[in-house]
């Protein structure tokens, strides 16, 4: 008798672990328009905030090497890495709305889990190789003094782009 409660709790947790993500996805689809409107307003608001306060957070520039992996993960999640493939993976995009590149990505991602992992790994390796190559070239041929003296602040252009993207997203959400 004493074993029934832990067994029931374990079984319930296992079911919730599988069912809850799908229930959340269904809720996202049902509330898609409202979520788009709120998200676009948040992006516009953040863009306005970044336009008013152009200082770059100093804490983000001082990441110890032991925490670079965690920082990279957090920044990639914050910038939506991988989220662009979720609608294709879940089949939420209509086939008629996809261009050839997105159709190819849909076929690759939907092929199987191994292919989805392979696409992610190839993307990460290409990104690291290109970024590392450019960083090495800048360090080798331009030097750190050039980089530190010629650095320009992109906060204003980033803020304006956030406001514009948020406004476009808001227009599209309101047109639905």
Where are the domains positioned within the chain? Answer: 57-111
Q: What is the dihedral of CA 27, 28, 32, 38, to 10 degrees?
A: 110
Closest CA to 176 of 45, 72, 35, 60: 35
Closest CA to 41 of 172, 176, 167: 167
Closest CA to 109 of 126, 131, 87, 127: 87
Task: Return all residues near 164 (Cβ < 8 A) that are at least 6 apart.
Answer: 47
Q: pLDDT tens, 1-54?
A: 677 788 888 888 888 887 888 778 777 777 888 888 888 899 899 889 988 987
d(CA 70, CA 76): 10
Answer whether 0.75 is exceeded by the pTM: no
Q: pLDDT tens, 146-176?
A: 777 776 667 788 789 889 988 998 998 898 7
The pLDDT of residue 88 is: 54
d(CA 107, CA 115): 10
């Amino acid at each position: 008798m004493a074993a029934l409660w832990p067994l029931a709790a374990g079984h319930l947790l296992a079911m919730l672990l599988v069912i809850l993500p799908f229930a959340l996805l269904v809720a996202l689809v049902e509330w898609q328009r409202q979520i788009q409107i709120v998200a676009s307003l948040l992006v516009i608001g953040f863009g306005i905030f970044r336009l008013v306060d152009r200082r770059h957070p100093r804490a983000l520039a001082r990441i110890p090497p032991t925490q670079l992996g965690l920082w990279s993960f957090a920044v990639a999640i914050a910038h939506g890495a991988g989220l662009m493939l979720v609608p294709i993976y879940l089949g939420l995009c209509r086939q008629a709305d996809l261009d050839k590149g997105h159709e190819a990505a849909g076929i690759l991602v939907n092929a199987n889990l191994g292919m989805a992992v392979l696409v992610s790994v190839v993307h990460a390796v290409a990104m690291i190789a290109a970024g590392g190559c450019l960083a090495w070239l800048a360090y080798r041929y331009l030097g750190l003094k050039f980089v530190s003296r010629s650095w320009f602040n992109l906060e204003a252009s980033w803020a304006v782009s956030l406001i514009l993207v948020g406004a476009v997203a808001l227009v599209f959400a309101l047109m639905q």
